[in-house]
Structure 1
């Protein structure tokens, strides 16, 4: 199996190890090197981490300062970060303080290797987030919320049952028209869950009129935020009600601000995206009859694990061709769409299909230029 196949198949295993505490994952990078990736609890001790001193100047001043100038330049560096954070959005009020700094340090120091993988995964998943946010007229900065919710892992499941990229509870998912039954869990569907999340965030903003409060409500629920506002004497933003919020929610907005900064300015810290093996382009086909994923993979010459990574919403090997809206879709690499349509008769027949060579899905490559969990189970969690 190729190195890209190792990386591609790694993602499907994330759901098996995702917990609320610090977690260790073994992955293989683009050079075939085995890497231990830790996902820490940002509010807890970094137990389990290899002690690494990231004191090199380039992580703080783009390689232009000398080490003995770091203390003298610290204040200017903080002012520069504050300026960059404030300029990230014209709609959302993003501010820099000690709480935000704590999370930035987690992403850029102890968790920097995990940040490389998050950046790689974001290249695939951001398109789903952006389309949904654009549909509801919401700020594009919200596309980074799944980073702290799930670590961009659609198979993430919290200990209280929240699932998917946006970490919907079952009741809330159904409230926003996500189908959840024995065969399918649309909380794990990157496209449908993103539209549900965008609608929910829109509802929360309409209620509170402030994005920091809407984000807090996404994490702990609107009732708790309303109670915090009352205790704070009618305050109208997150920082004014901070002390009255649950402990986990106090870190939620700072983590969100930090991830927006890091996902935009990661190159300042000598961090680069790594390939995840996810395809460059995908499209969907409509499934017209009951069919097994194994049969589709066999006919198309794909690994079934690759097919499941692109379609994490299917709970079993069997896809049932029924839906409340009349369609069931399957997501495939763009180059497989024509092959699926050409081989429909073979795919839907009951007899075993012929043997075909396995094809490797075209994978993304790491990019070198700057670009661009409710529970949160991402790189930085409560």
Structure 2
């Protein structure tokens, strides 16, 4: 998936292909603190906005003990982080995937821990919410949990991220590929943006790629640029056991993709060595899903439950028009809510469904029609 990761800023030095230009993202955390988030690519170009994932409590708490500093402490960030030390630590991260450090990988590590450290703090904060989706899907296919770092370089953990060429969601599926992996995409719903369903689709795709190439670094390269290009690179190299063996024959942007992934894996585990602390975000600590029995708008649900409708949309980004069709073609629709709101929804469901499906918002209908026309053009 050659288009996907550029929209994220966090890890990709391949910003030229994606076309996402430098931008600042203002973020307000749970405590009302405003943070200006921006991250540079490894080549020094500033590219867009990002996020990070990791749900392990040990990981999250170890950094919290240190406190946030906008600049690294020289005694921490510069000590014992030479190439050899990093390589040794990196090899301990996985028994399945070959993660090694070289100059290319080190360039990314430096960007994430120096110029982009503030964005890294924000990304780490969002990890607690999104990682369980990734881990559950990866486990279901028996895949390495280290692959949970892929959405970091694909979308910056932004389910609404959309690339210049139309790739969307946390895992950056194109429309055709998403439908190939059974994601529903129409005027009302785009399951590429659904954290749960897109994660299962991505796990299935990654499993297919690994079964084809027999090496995770090659599978990751194929996720970026497509299996055909990786096969061509292997042929030009006269055979290749891994990404590094065919490196020079891959597209330029793909040469940075695997190093970016390796660097993300390292930083997400050893961020505390650089005096980096996860930043609190507005995402809930836990969520659950409930089956929607009748057509309803997110605005109606939010109004009855006393929630902010924008917060509800953040948890349910797959509903393009803010409208849930109860009986979609892929089965019953689900609504994701903060865990404490599940019982309240059940108690007030009659009020939630009352008169909300009699008529649709005309603006919503027009928007849906426009979306259909735009999709037809593509």
- Is TM more than 0.5 here? yes
Query: Which residue does 2:55 correspond to in 1?
Result: none
Q: Deviations over 1:124-144 (max 9, x none)?
A: 000000000000000000001
RCO greater where, 1 or 2, for CA within 8 Å and sep 6 or more?
1
Residues 211, 182 of structure 1: alpha-carbon distance in 2 compared, 3 angstrom cutoff: same
Q: For 2:199 and 2:23, locate their aligned partners in 1 and report how far apart those are by CA, in whole Å.
A: 25
Q: Is 1:339–2:344 an aligned residue pair?
A: yes
Displacement after TM superposition at 1:35 (Å): 2.6
| Conserved 8 A contact 2:20-2:47 | no
Q: Secondary structure at the match of 1:251?
A: helix
Q: Is 1:280–2:280 an aligned residue pair?
A: no
Query: Which residue does 1:7 correspond to in 2?
Result: none
Query: Which residue does 1:296 correspond to in 2?
Result: 301
| Conserved 8 A contact 1:95-1:257 | yes
| Conserved 8 A contact 2:40-2:46 | yes
Displacement after TM superposition at 1:152 (Å): 0.5
Give the alignment's TM-score, normalised by structure 2.
0.81
| Conserved 8 A contact 1:290-1:321 | yes
Q: For 1:286 and 1:293, locate their aligned partners in 2 and report how far apart those are by CA, in whole Å.
A: 14
Q: Which of 160, 163, 170 is equivalent to 1:158?
A: 163
Residues 237, 191 of structure 1: alpha-carbon distance in 2 compared, 3 angstrom cutoff: same
Residues 46, 157 of structure 1: alpha-carbon distance in 2 compared, 3 angstrom cutoff: closer
Displacement after TM superposition at 1:80 (Å): 1.4
Unaligned runs of 5+ in 1: 1-17, 62-72, 353-382
Q: Is 1:144–2:149 an aligned residue pair?
A: yes
Q: For 2:42 and 2:321, locate their aligned partners in 1 and report how far apart those are by CA, in whole Å.
A: 34
Displacement after TM superposition at 1:351 (Å): 6.5
Residues 161, 284 of structure 1: alpha-carbon distance in 2 compared, 3 angstrom cutoff: same
Task: Write out aligned runs for 1:298-313 (5 A).
Answer: 298-313=303-318
Query: Which residue does 1:244 correspond to in 2?
Result: 249
Q: For 1:220 and 1:44, locate their aligned partners in 2 and report how far apart those are by CA, in whole Å.
A: 23
Q: Secondary structure at the match of 1:146?
A: helix
Unaligned runs of 5+ in 2: 1-17, 49-69, 358-378
Query: Which residue does 1:36 correspond to in 2?
Result: 36
Q: For 1:343 and 1:322, locate their aligned partners in 2 and report how far apart those are by CA, in whole Å.
A: 20
Root mean square deviation of aligned Cα: 1.9
Q: For 2:321 and 2:111, locate their aligned partners in 1 and report how far apart those are by CA, in whole Å.
A: 37
Query: Which residue does 2:75 correspond to in 1?
Result: 57
Q: For 2:303 and 2:39, locate their aligned partners in 1 and report how far apart those are by CA, in whole Å.
A: 35
Q: For 2:295 and 2:39, locate their aligned partners in 1 and report how far apart those are by CA, in whole Å.
A: 38
Task: Write out aligned runs for 1:320-331 (5 A).
Answer: 320-331=325-336
Aligned length: 319
Q: For 1:47 and 1:200, locate their aligned partners in 2 and report how far apart those are by CA, in whole Å.
A: 27
Q: Is 1:211–2:216 an aligned residue pair?
A: yes
Q: Deviations over 1:176-219 (max 9, x none)?
A: 00000000000000000000000000000000000000000000
Q: For 1:133 and 1:267, locate their aligned partners in 2 and report how far apart those are by CA, in whole Å.
A: 26
| Conserved 8 A contact 2:72-2:114 | yes
Query: Which residue does 2:21 correspond to in 1?
Result: 21
Task: Write out aligned runs for 1:92-103 (5 A).
Answer: 92-103=97-108
Displacement after TM superposition at 1:85 (Å): 0.5
| Conserved 8 A contact 1:129-1:194 | yes
Q: For 1:343 and 1:19, locate their aligned partners in 2 and report how far apart those are by CA, in whole Å.
A: 46
Q: Secondary structure at the match of 2:24?
A: strand
| Conserved 8 A contact 1:311-1:330 | yes
